[in-house]
Amino acid sequence: MPAGNLRKLKIAVLYGADAVYLGTPDMSLRTKSEFSLEDVIEGVEFCHKHGKRAYLTLNLFFHNKDILKLDEYIETVRRVNPDGLIIADPGVFQYVKDHAPELPLHISTQSNVASWLSVKFWQKQGAELCVLAREVSFSELEEIRKKCPDIKLEAFVHGAMCMTYSGRCLLSNFMAERGANQGNCANSCRWNYKLHLRLKDGSHEELNITDDNREMFEFLLEEGCRPGELMPIEEDVRGSYILNSKDLCIMPRLNDYLRTGVDSLKVEGRGKSEYYCAIVARAYRMAIDDYYADPNNWDPKPYMRELESVGNRGYTLAFHDGLLTNYAHHYEHTQSLAQWEYAGVVTDVTDDAFHVEVKNKLEPGEVLEFVSPVCRDTVLLRAYDFELLETGEKKEVVQGGSKAVIRFPLSLFDHEDTKELRRRFPEYSVLRKEKALTQEQRNRVRFDKLTQRIEISGNSDQVAYERQRDKLVGSIDKEATERRFKNNRIGAEGCCGKGCNGCLIFWHDASYAKARELLQKRKQGEQLTRREAQDLRQRDTTNFATSNQIPVTGASSPSKSTR
């Protein structure tokens, strides 16, 4: 399971993960990772205390600036004593092998291992495990397992899919100046793209295709080396998410993977929520245990119901059968959606109450479901008011994001044994609640489930597909789907200045020289604070503008760079 911070790591372990992977933001492919080196040490110790494994990620593709911290990183890793170091860059692999030969080395999916020949190559270099590329089909996996019996194989089974070859993407660099191969992807493939028409006078305007004018146009794409092969491009008034993949979910075929003898099943999502870590780990834990208990009667349906309670973009088998179908893509939406949402997490269990940190808005009359990490039965509780732990005040509504902690007396669970209740729902147990969906969102969920059934069965149902698709399209309200940017997606004005690895603006723009100098003196994984970034940006912009005789007003303002 993925671990984006220390609490996610602990939740993943408690909910059934056999191993977790984690890393600091400057040396792995997740610049938003919330691990300091101290957190890494505590996390690995927590895993080992519970009899689980911890893998550290060193899987970015290095630039010269990254090499400077490699020795310090290796010395720290030696103290941490992880169960594996996940690497993508061949130069880094050799460097670690030479300087820390005692560390077990794993090959990242970023290395695009898609054949038994590549697996044998890395095995010869000294790798103990290869994480196979997501593009490897199941039949290819079987062949690799047969030809490479003496090395551990790991396969992705769940999580977001990348539209480019196992993450080797330059679209983010081009669109937002954020290096995807250094952990700072802007997810440009998830954006909404519009078609524009350029007129002869040089002006251009948005071109909307409607029922009234659609017969007047036909747009065709011709690739340079295939003259005469014209591919149609279709779009409607909402634009198109032409690069937007659905999320990988191998659960319907999980028994095949277990039967083949793959050593490790990997879930994507270090940027996902604690709730995601808990529910996905729980679903796969139950599914794996049940398969080994009774493989002949194993059925994926109950575990799929669990996974459907987690936000997703619709599930797909992706490259499982080798051929990627149109059901693996989402042209209508990029939103991650589910009929349930994260309500809270248990932060403490006393003799007479649960203390719960609120994650989403709670209102009177809602039914909260306590999801246990140690048993399969959940417990439901309808709450009509909420007692704030800090003040004892009773409130009818508690807002999410406030980090408010509320107290649920055990006396509210009048049908449960108190002692057993405390055992079943220890610290880090998660709560969920039903989410109110718009009609558009409900149609999206129905459409996703239909396309998944079609993909799994292999039997096309074009009538049902078109009917449900048209319901979804008909319910989409253009005004309701307009969204403001919440992060930096527009290039030079978008750098936060905190020093994200892979941010081309921060590491190359002269106006960040002082900030870079300060960051190089910081401990690994430590970024500049928002205040420091804002102050340094303001100072560097002034100095840079003065030295180049450019008015300060001509540069990006601090308010823009930190929005």
- Of 39-43, 146-150, 275-279, the one with minimum mean pLDDT is 39-43
Beta strands 230-232; 394-395: pairing state:
unpaired
Name the amino acid, one letter, at 398. Answer: V
Query: What mean pLDDT do residues 336-353 have?
Result: 94
The reply to whether 152 and 269 lie within a common domain is yes
> What does DSSP assign to residue 108?
-
Packing angle, helices 6-14 and 274-293, rounded to 10: 20
What band does 167 get if pLDDT is binned at 50, 70 and 90?
low
69-73 long-range contacts, CB within 8 A, separation 24+: 69/26, 69/27, 69/524, 70/95, 71/99, 72/524, 73/27, 73/524
DSSP string, 457-490: H----HHHHHHHHHHHHHH--TGGG-----S--S
Name the amino acid, one letter, at 370. Answer: F
- pLDDT tens column, 223-280: 566 566 655 555 544 445 556 788 999 999 999 999 999 999 999 988 899 999 999 9
Query: Residue 173: its pLDDT value, please?
Result: 63
The reply to whether 353 and 314 lie within a common domain is no
Handedness of CA 410, 342, 2, 314 (dihedral sign): positive
Query: What mean pLDDT do residues 120-125 have?
Result: 98
What band does 319 get if pLDDT is binned at 50, 70 and 90?
confident
Higher pLDDT, 530 or 66: 66
- pLDDT tens column, 49-98: 999 999 999 988 888 988 988 898 888 888 888 999 999 999 999 999 99
Instruction: Count the domains in the chain.
Output: 3
Query: Residue 182: its pLDDT value, please?
Result: 57
Instruction: Report phi then psi at 340, rounded to 5.
Output: -130, 160
Residue 488: pLDDT above 60?
Answer: no
Residue 555: pLDDT above 70?
Answer: no
- Of 155-164, 233-242, 499-508, 528-537, the one with minimum mean pLDDT is 233-242
Residue 194: pLDDT above 50?
Answer: yes
The reply to whether 50 and 158 lie within a common domain is yes
> What does DSSP assign to residue 300?
S
Query: Residue 385: its pLDDT value, please?
Result: 92
Query: Residue 447: its pLDDT value, please?
Result: 86
Examine residue 511 and state whether it is found in any structural domain, yes or no: yes
- pLDDT tens column, 196-231: 666 566 666 666 666 676 666 666 656 566 566 655
Token representation of residue 442: 């409900």
- pLDDT tens column, 385-435: 999 999 999 999 999 878 899 999 999 987 788 999 999 999 999 999 988
Examine residue 236 and state whether it is found in any structural domain, yes or no: no
Examine residue 263 and state whether it is found in any structural domain, yes or no: yes
Token representation of residue 250: 């191998």
Query: Residue 267: its pLDDT value, please?
Result: 97
Query: Residue 117: its pLDDT value, please?
Result: 98
- Please answer whether residues 183 and 25 qualify as being in contact, where contact means their C-beta atoms are separated by less than 8 angstroms: yes
Query: Residue 215: its pLDDT value, please?
Result: 65
The reply to whether 260 and 408 lie within a common domain is no
The reply to whether 36 and 136 lie within a common domain is yes
Residue 18: pLDDT above 60?
Answer: yes
Higher pLDDT, 489 or 355: 355
Examine residue 297 and state whether it is found in any structural domain, yes or no: yes
The reply to whether 131 and 65 lie within a common domain is yes
Query: What CATH number is given to the structural domain containing 381?
Result: 2.40.30.10
- Please answer whether residues 426 and 373 qualify as being in contact, where contact means their C-beta atoms are separated by less than 8 angstroms: yes
Query: Residue 255: its pLDDT value, please?
Result: 96
Examine residue 322 and state whether it is found in any structural domain, yes or no: yes
The reply to whether 281 and 399 lie within a common domain is no
> What does DSSP assign to residue 397?
-
Residue 544: pLDDT above 90?
Answer: no
The reply to whether 303 and 351 lie within a common domain is no
The reply to whether 320 and 367 lie within a common domain is no
Task: Identify the domain boundary among 367, 399, 434.
Answer: 434
Higher pLDDT, 464 or 244: 464
Query: What CATH number is given to the structural domain containing 131?
Result: 3.20.20.70
Residue 482: pLDDT above 50?
Answer: no
Examine residue 455 and state whether it is found in any structural domain, yes or no: no
d(CA 194, CA 209): 11
The reply to whether 344 and 419 lie within a common domain is yes
Examine residue 215 and state whether it is found in any structural domain, yes or no: no
Task: Identify the domain boundary among 276, 295, 326.
Answer: 326
Higher pLDDT, 237 or 112: 112
The reply to whether 146 and 47 lie within a common domain is yes
Query: Residue 522: its pLDDT value, please?
Result: 80
Residue 325: pLDDT above 90?
Answer: no
What band does 492 get if pLDDT is binned at 50, 70 and 90?
very low
What band does 556 get if pLDDT is binned at 50, 70 and 90?
very low
Residue 560: pLDDT above 90?
Answer: no
Task: Identify the domain boundary among 410, 434, 458.
Answer: 434
Query: Residue 562: its pLDDT value, please?
Result: 26
The pLDDT > 70 percentage for the chain reads 74
Examine residue 133 and state whether it is found in any structural domain, yes or no: yes
The reply to whether 357 and 391 lie within a common domain is yes
Query: Residue 563: its pLDDT value, please?
Result: 22
d(CA 82, CA 351): 36
Domain interval for residue 38: 6-163+245-326
Query: Residue 264: its pLDDT value, please?
Result: 97
Looking up tokens 């992706």 gives 318
